[in-house]
Amino acid sequence: MRCPYCGADNTQVKDSRPSEDSSAIRRRRVCVDCGGRFTTFERVQLRELWVLKRNGRRVPFDRDKLMRSVQVALRKRPVDPERVERMVSGIVRQLESRGEQDIPSEEIGLLVMEALKGLDDVAYVRFASVYRDFREAKDFRTFLGELASEEPPRIAAADEDV
């Protein structure tokens, strides 16, 4: 592991423990050359995943890119970062457990949309607008109409007239 301060490769692990959500290993490190202390997070990768893009290209799956796209959708939304981390880790686990190495980008987008739908409606619509390539305001109206029709029916309270 390269030291972020001096760039040396000579570092020692001083402490290792699971991260708070157990999706990574948190390691406290010390650079032998400059004495700088820093923390790294290491994730277990069950299998190497590849993304099949719509244009036919095949690129390595990048968890950080997935996290960035989710964070863009959630920008300025009151969502706990721990929940976002758990959501992204859950998506990655789903992808890894599929048993397939090549995953179409459309399937990843659908998983993200489904997860965002349960996390934050505004982020869900933001992500959908990019994923589904909305071009005009009517695209938003149509999508929001579909979203409204999916809402569960309201159950009348016991004291209301039915």
* Mean pLDDT on 109-114: 92
Residue 154 is predicted with a pLDDT of: 41
pTM summary value: 0.64
Residue 21 is predicted with a pLDDT of: 65
Tell me, yes or no, whether 145 lies in a domain.
no
Residue 153 is predicted with a pLDDT of: 42
Whole domain around residue 86: which residue ranges? 50-140
Confidence of residue 144 (pLDDT cuts 50, 70, 90): confident
Contacts of 46 (CB under 8 A, 6+ apart): 96, 97
Count of domains in the chain?
2
Residues 130 and 62 both lie in one domain = yes
* Mean pLDDT on 20-39: 87
Residues 36 and 58 both lie in one domain = no
Tell me, yes or no, whether 6 lies in a domain.
no
Tell me, yes or no, whether 18 lies in a domain.
yes
> Checking phi first, is residue 52 left (phi over 0); if not, alpha (psi -120 to 50) or beta?
beta
Residues 29 and 69 both lie in one domain = no
Nearest-angstrom CA–CA distance, 130 and 121: 15
Question: CA-CA-CA-CA torsion for 51, 18, 117, 129, nearest 10 degrees?
Answer: -40
